[in-house]
Amino acid sequence: MSYVEPSYSRDMRYISTRITADGAGGYPVEASRYRLVVARACPWANRAVIVRRLLGLEDAISMGMCGPTHDERSWTFDLDPGGVDPVLGIERLQDAYFARVPDYDKGITVPAIVDVTTGQVVTNDFPQMTLDLSTEWTAHHREGAPDLYPEALRAEIDEVNALVFKDVNNGVYRCGFSGTQEAYEAAYDRLFSRLDWLSQRLENQRFLVGDTITEADVRLFTTLVRFDAVYHGHFKCNRSKLTEMPVLWAYARDLFQTPGFGDTIDFGQIKEHYYVVHSDINPTQIVPAGPELGGWLTPHGRESLGGRPFGNGTPPAPPAPGEHVPPLTITN
């Protein structure tokens, strides 16, 4: 698959239909009607997996899991028996896109929310999707669910999210898929300048905005957790490893050890996706054996900064049956 271009630009044209409490757009919030289709490898999908866990929406929204690799046509359900999603009855996610838009010509992306009653994709607008899970699905939140998008902090969360998306979440891709030295170095400089800025911001506060976990922390975490395993080498983001950036490394470990974060991470699938699918960058498709992962479970010391991870709420229950990830492989 070919991704490389002189200066990488992400296609942000998504199906922007929203599922809302009032159903104004034709899709009302309704338990058991929708299926969230994700892949553990994908950082954008990982956001939705985390938010669904933190809010306790497992019983309201089922989750379909694509495998870590895909071809130019579509993500596939190769982890399921017979390669067919057991709820939607399809082998390829593209079938749900084409059911909604027969001539759909944009990316077949995860996460996507599918209307089980029609088999049609409702939305793949990943930035809005998690905000709506927080604000529109409140009737189905678990008791003790955290407020990930508190109204009083939304302007600041939005501002931080915009900077993190531009320079970090998408910045690593701009490094990896740059087609010229100049474009790569510009993206590299922006990435590490923003990581330095984030280190300063987090040096004396436990979370990105306020004293609890918010949407901003979810969005940064899914990039940081992939940094050493993929982005440092595969995408040439190699000024520093995450483990060599003390504040961000401690912050990432703090979140990883928080229920709902680390228990959604499958490093094996993450590495397989990037190193196999991006054959322009890694033509041998050899998947690295490292890095060693035991450090993710070491003490982080961030409790000394105070803060209340779930605010007035409580941690989520353990992952639902069938949604567990493999335990970390730790070498001595």
218, 170 contact by CB (below 8 A): no
Residue 124: the pLDDT is 97
Which active-site residues does the annotation give? 42, 173
Q: What proportion of the chain, given as a percentage, has pLDDT over 90?
A: 93
- Between the alpha carbon of residue 262 and those of residues 9, 228, 239, 291, the distances in Å are 29, 15, 25, 16
Mean of the pLDDT values across residues 193-217? 98
Angle at 152 between CA 149 and CA 154, to 5 degrees: 45
What is the dotted CATH code of the domain comprising 155-305? 1.20.1050.10
pLDDT tens figures, 274-283? 999 999 999 9
Give yes or no for residue 1 having a pLDDT over 90.
no
75 is in an annotated binding site: yes
Q: Exposed, middle or buried by CB within 10 Å (0-12, 13-18, 19+), for 144?
A: middle
**Across 153-168, average pLDDT:** 98
pLDDT in tens, 106-131: 999 999 999 999 999 999 999 999 99
Q: How far is CA 302 from the centre of its chain?
A: 23
Domain ranges of the chain: 155-305
Over the stretch 19-49, which tens digit does the pLDDT of each residue have?
999 999 999 999 999 999 999 999 999 999 9
For 230, the token pair is 């993929």
Q: Are 34 and 96 in contact (CB under 8 A)?
A: no
Which residue from 290, 299, 302, 296 is spatially nearest to 327, judged by alpha carbons? 296
Each residue's pLDDT tens digit, 260-312: 999 999 999 999 999 999 999 999 999 999 999 999 999 999 999 999 999 99
Per-residue pLDDT at 9 exceeds 80: no
